[in-house]
Amino acid sequence: MKILITGGCGFLGARLARTLLAQGRLSMCGAEPRDIARITLADRVPPPADLQQDPRIAFVQGDLNELLARGQGPQPDTALVFHLAAAVSGECEADFDLGMRSNLDATRALLEACRALGTQPVVVFSSSVAVFGSSPQQALPPVIRDDTLPTPQNSYGIQKFIGEQLVADYTRKGFVRGRNVRLMTVSVRPGRPNAAASSFLSGILREPLAGVRARCPVPPETAVALSSPAATVAGILRAAEAGDGDWGARTAVNLPALTISVRGMVEALERVAGPAAAALIDWEPDPSIAAIVTSWPSRIDSARAAALGLRADASFDDVIRAYIHENRDAVKLPLERS
Cα(284)–Cα(338) distance, rounded to whole angstroms?
28
SS3 for the chain is CEEEEECCCCHHHHHHHHHHHHHCEECCCCCCCEECCEEEEEECCCCCHHHHCCCCEEEEECCHHHHHHCCCCCCCCEEEEEECCCCCHHHHHHCHHHHHHHHHHHHHHHHHHHHHHCCCCEEEEEEEHHHCCCCCCCCCCCCECCCCCCCCCCHHHHHHHHHHHHHHHHHHCCCCEEEEEEECEECCCCCCCCCCCCCHHHHHHHHHHCCCCEEECCCCCCEEEEECHHHHHHHHHHHHHCCHHHHCCCCCEECCCEEEEHHHHHHHHHHHHCHHHHCCEEECCCHHHHHHHCCCCCCECCHHHHHCCCCCCCCHHHHHHHHHHHCHHHCCCCCCCC
Cα(197)–Cα(129) distance, rounded to whole angstroms?
13
Q: Which of 125, 156, 247, 316 is catalytic?
A: 156
Cα(188)–Cα(177) distance, rounded to whole angstroms?
31
323 is catalytic: no
Torsion of CA 88, 19, 41, 243, to 10 degrees: -80
Closest alpha carbon to 171 in 110, 125, 120: 120
Residues belonging to the active site: 156
